[in-house]
Amino acid sequence: MNYPNGKQRVSMKQISQTFSNRGMTLEEDINMTNQYYLDMDLAVIHKKPTPVQIVNVNYPKRSAAVITEAYFKQASTTDYNGLYRNRHIDFEAKETKNKTSFPLANIHDHQIKHMESIVSHGGICFMIIRFALHNETYYLSADKLFLHWYEKQRDGRKSIPYNLIKQEGHEIPFNYQKRVDYLSIIDQLYF
Amino acid sequence: MNYPNGKQRVSMKQISQTFSNRGMTLEEDINMTNQYYLDMDLAVIHKKPTPVQIVNVNYPKRSAAVITEAYFKQASTTDYNGLYRNRHIDFEAKETKNKTSFPLANIHDHQIKHMESIVSHGGICFMIIRFALHNETYYLSADKLFLHWYEKQRDGRKSIPYNLIKQEGHEIPFNYQKRVDYLSIIDQLYF
């Protein structure tokens, strides 16, 4: 829902997803991995900033400007993108505490549309899914995700079973410096 | 300068640059152009959200969460990126009211470093520069920008003369729907 002034209403549920399900740990691990890729000059991949609608800013003398009123906006794309071996990389990352399935409510329709555009224009597009309680992190390519998404639309299915992700996805190796070494999977699949 | 809590101090000068020199008009024109490219399924190119360090959020009952304290952070990359004809696209856009030159103070060292990484990993990287008072908008490829940047480091030069940009750059055509049709320049240069 959009307010007339361009603010977007974000529900309590979305906020709590932002700060819990979405998993700071996975995000931190991916950020560290991306920093390692950057430091080693392997790839240039960044997390996009959280989109915020700024409404009011104070400019105190001799100190930093303070944003005193702002609202969360829903992201219209995925969280991460960049460049690796001449290819455009684009992905979303989600963590779940569910043991048996990954809830599709974590993904929005406009994100799927965005991922479809990326695939059709020649980008490498995927999802990183962490099952926190199994301590396992998977790479699921966008085309596999789309199939589950359309099943959801058709049959009302609300999640992807853990076993299917294990089967269709690729487990991402953990390494002290490359905590979510997804480029190793891309190397296998594309190069 | 970084505060211990991760806040970054942004000076009054930076703020005023953000809201004036940086040119909302050019930004709006580019956003409209990107939306047109997206609607026509020509390319997937977005502006990244403004990076903000969120310090405090209020959660009023039955309404949207309000960010009540946040600070601007300096961007470590460029403002725009995306995908066109299988190629990664990355650029920065700046507007100036100067008639005779483009001030290099508009660009930061880490942005140049970022652009160098993009070029070395195979992306298409450039700068869009608008001379507001001439009502002209130029595409300047990253490698040309780098030469001027190193001259600045070496000789202390503070700007790129308008005439050089006219000579080394490519004027971007204006079109009612594609207000800054930079893909037409990329087509000429790369395809």
**Residue found under tokens 């207000």:** B179
Is A41 part of a structural domain of the chain? yes
Contact status, residue B97 vs residue B25, Cβ threshold 8 Å: no
Kindly state the tokens that stand for A187.
């190397």
**What pLDDT is recorded for position A145?**
97
The mean of the pLDDT values for chain A is 88
**Best CA proximity match to B84, nearest among B126, B29, B27:** B126
**What pLDDT is recorded for position B5?**
47
Distance CA B111, CA A38 (A): 14
Per-residue pLDDT of B133-189, as tens digits, reads: 999 999 999 999 999 999 888 888 899 999 999 999 999 999 888 999 999 999 999
Residue A3 has pLDDT above 60, yes or no: no
Q: Structural domain tally of chain B?
A: 1
- The reply to whether residue A49 touches residue B48, judged by beta carbons under 8 angstroms, is yes
- The reply to whether residue B70 touches residue A65, judged by beta carbons under 8 angstroms, is no
Is B58 part of a structural domain of the chain? no
Distance CA B23, CA A85 (A): 34
Is A119 part of a structural domain of the chain? yes
Identify all chain B residues contacting A66, using CB atoms and an 8 Å cutoff.
69-71
Q: Give the distance from residue A9's alpha carbon to the nearest chain B alpha carbon, in angstroms.
A: 5
**What pLDDT is recorded for position B132?**
94
B111 assigned ligand-binding residue: yes
Residue A22 has pLDDT above 50, yes or no: no
Range from A14-28, A125-139, B57-71 carrying the lowest mean pLDDT: A14-28
Residue A1 has pLDDT above 50, yes or no: no
Q: What is the DSSP letter of B169?
A: S
Q: What is the pLDDT averaged over residues A8-26?
A: 49
Q: Give the distance from residue A161's alpha carbon to the nearest chain B alpha carbon, in angstroms.
A: 31
Identify all chain A residues contacting B15, using CB atoms and an 8 Å cutoff.
57, 59, 65
**What pLDDT is recorded for position B25?**
86
Q: Which helix (H) or strand (E) holds A168?
A: helix A162-168
Is B2 part of a structural domain of the chain? no
Q: What is the pLDDT averaged over residues A71-82?
A: 93
Is A34 part of a structural domain of the chain? yes
Is A17 part of a structural domain of the chain? no
- Taking CA atoms, what residue in A is nearest to B72? A65
Is A68 part of a structural domain of the chain? no
Residue count of chain B: 191
Identify all chain A residues contacting B43, using CB atoms and an 8 Å cutoff.
121
Strands B101-103 and A66-72: unpaired
Nearest to A123 among B12, B48, B83 (CB): B83
Q: What is the pLDDT averaged over residues A87-102?
A: 97
Identify all chain B residues contacting A49, using CB atoms and an 8 Å cutoff.
48-52, 73
Query: Which phi and psi (to 5°) does residue B118 adopt?
Result: -60, -45
CATH of the domain at A115: 3.40.1350.10
Is A10 part of a structural domain of the chain? no
- The reply to whether residue A117 touches residue B38, judged by beta carbons under 8 angstroms, is yes
Percent of chain A with pLDDT over 70: 87
Query: What ipTM is given for this predicted complex?
Result: 0.84
Query: Which phi and psi (to 5°) does residue A187 adopt?
Result: -60, -45
Query: Which phi and psi (to 5°) does residue A108 adopt?
Result: -105, 155
Q: List the domain range (segments joined by +) for residue B29.
A: 20-49+77-190
Distance CA A8, CA B158 (A): 41
Residue A111 has pLDDT above 50, yes or no: yes
Kindly state the tokens that stand for B164.
């050089």
pLDDT higher at A124 or A18: A124
- The reply to whether residue A10 touches residue B64, judged by beta carbons under 8 angstroms, is yes
**What pLDDT is recorded for position B77?**
94
**What pLDDT is recorded for position B21?**
35
- The reply to whether residue A52 touches residue B48, judged by beta carbons under 8 angstroms, is no
Contact status, residue A158 vs residue A105, Cβ threshold 8 Å: yes
Range from A4-13, A78-87, B125-134 carrying the lowest mean pLDDT: A4-13
Give strand ranges (E) for A39-86. Answer: 44-47, 52-58, 66-72, 80-84
Alpha-helical runs (H) found in chain B: 12-19, 24-39, 109-120, 142-155, 162-168, 182-190
Contact status, residue B132 vs residue B102, Cβ threshold 8 Å: no
Nearest to B52 among A46, A52, A87 (CB): A52
Contacts across the A-B interface (CB distance below 8 Å): 133
